[in-house]
Amino acid sequence: MRGGHYGAEGLSSDPLEAAAEFHDRVLPDILQMLTEHDEIQLMFEAADHRHREWQSSAVAALARKAAPKRVNAIVGGTVEQIKATQAYLRKAPGVTGQIFTLAAKL
């Protein structure tokens, strides 16, 4: 088994609606992926601070459910930043249940 990436794209800009969409539309796919992969990296589009709480809760709950498999999330960022974060995660087997929020501009 290897790692998988899931782009949780097109979610509402309203945090409550986005959380509902995530649980209805995205979560079943992620749970299926966890049967096939040892690690999942969720990719969230950049969103304002109001989304942090539901994303954090969802990622932490998925990580607990999937243990010893790993679940982490990356929010926003450039292609280079995302690749660097993914490289870090490949070398950090103890990291799970975390969200890495990347700045689009440095």
The structural domains of the chain, ordered by start, are 2-101 (3.40.50.720)
Interval 59-100: pLDDT, tens = 999 999 999 999 999 999 999 999 999 999 999 999 999 999
In this prediction, residue 9 carries a pLDDT of 87
Three-state DSSP state, 65:
helix
Interval 23-61: pLDDT, tens = 999 999 999 999 999 999 999 999 899 999 999 999 999
Residue 1 has pLDDT above 60, yes or no: no
Q: Distance between CA 5 and CA 41 in Å, rounded?
A: 5
In this prediction, residue 6 carries a pLDDT of 80
In this prediction, residue 104 carries a pLDDT of 64
Instruction: Classify each residue of 40-60 as buried b or exposed e, where b means 16 or more C-beta atoms within 10 Å of its C-beta.
Output: bbbbbeebeeebeebbeebbb
Here the tokens at position 21 are: 């969409």
